[in-house]
Amino acid sequence: MKAYIIKIELKYSEPLIWRRVIMPAGATFNRLHDVIQTVTNFQSGYPSGDYHLYEFDLKEENIRVTNDEEAYQEHLHFKKNRKAYEERLKTMPPGQAGFEKAYQERLQTVVRKPTGLKIDDYLEKHKEILYRYDFGDGWELIIMLEDIVYDYYFGYPRLLDGAETAPPEDVGGIPGFYDFLEAYRDEKHPEHEEMKAWADVQGFNEYDPAWINELLKAIAYKKTEWDKIDHDRYKIIEDKYRK
């Protein structure tokens, strides 16, 4: 089975928080979102209630892939009423025209839903994808294609390697995360017990590859004949790609 080996890096983390994952080809961007969430501590907004927005910025193709329904509808309205937008810009006073022009330029970016678009063509062509998550905390992750393999036998992704614990939901971006870690890991910190209780509510876990791989089994999107596979041979193949 064809599969991609990707490296996921959390921008601005120090030391770098990263994961190496192998996943079958044919995944939608929504599936890729699920993989990123699973190998980190993100949970799409849970337990706060409403899901967080996310987007994949495919700037080389002038495409945003996002679960932001409002952005999707805005783009459709712009496409259907382009001439009206152009006329409105002409009538804007100089002090407002700049803002309106920038707004219309943003609307020209094609907006696609993540459930209806597969990652394969873009990932193979451009090798890199920028993923933004939770526009309040402002997380940015880079997804890089490292290799394409044709001897993968699982119907779901697997974590091959990685380093460092990832942030929990709603921690306040990179600065808030490192403040949280300081209190969470230091038993003498005055906020230690408070941070531990909060972390439990958020479903926070230190980096645990075995646990992550158990969770990844739920993201199955390819059929396999696993019972017919030589398991010992597969272990050798998997180890080869665990760099």
DSSP symbols for 182-196: HHHH-TTSTTHHHHH
* Dihedral angle of Cα 116, 22, 41, 141, to the nearest 10 degrees: -70
Residue 231 DSSP symbol: H
pLDDT above 90 for 44: no
Its pTM stands at 0.88
Q: What is residue 149's three-state secondary structure?
A: strand
Q: How sure is the predictor about 31, in pLDDT bands with cuts at 50, 70 and 90?
A: very high
- Separation between Cα atoms, residue 132 and residue 140, nearest integer Å: 5
The CATH code of domain 3-67+113-169+208-230 reads 3.10.290.30
- Separation between Cα atoms, residue 7 and residue 2, nearest integer Å: 17
Sheet of 54-58, strands arranged across: 110-112, 63-66, 54-58, 128-133, 139-149, 3-10, 18-24, 158-163
Q: Could you read off the pLDDT of 135-177 as tens digits, one per residue?
A: 999 999 999 999 999 999 899 999 999 999 999 999 999 999 9
Contacts of 211 (CB under 8 A, 6+ apart): 205
Contacts of 242 (CB under 8 A, 6+ apart): 20, 160, 161
**Burial class of residue 176 in the structure, from the number of CB atoms within 10 Å of its CB (0-12 exposed, 13-18 middle, 19+ buried):** middle
Nearest C-alpha neighbor of 168 from the set 30, 59, 42: 42
Q: What is residue 218's three-state secondary structure?
A: coil
Nearest C-alpha neighbor of 128 from the set 243, 4, 3: 4
Q: Could you read off the pLDDT of 51-75 as tens digits, one per residue?
A: 899 999 999 999 999 999 999 999 9
pLDDT computed for residue 236 by the predictor: 60
Q: How sure is the predictor about 97, in pLDDT bands with cuts at 50, 70 and 90?
A: confident
Q: Could you read off the pLDDT of 126-137 as tens digits, one per residue?
A: 999 999 999 999
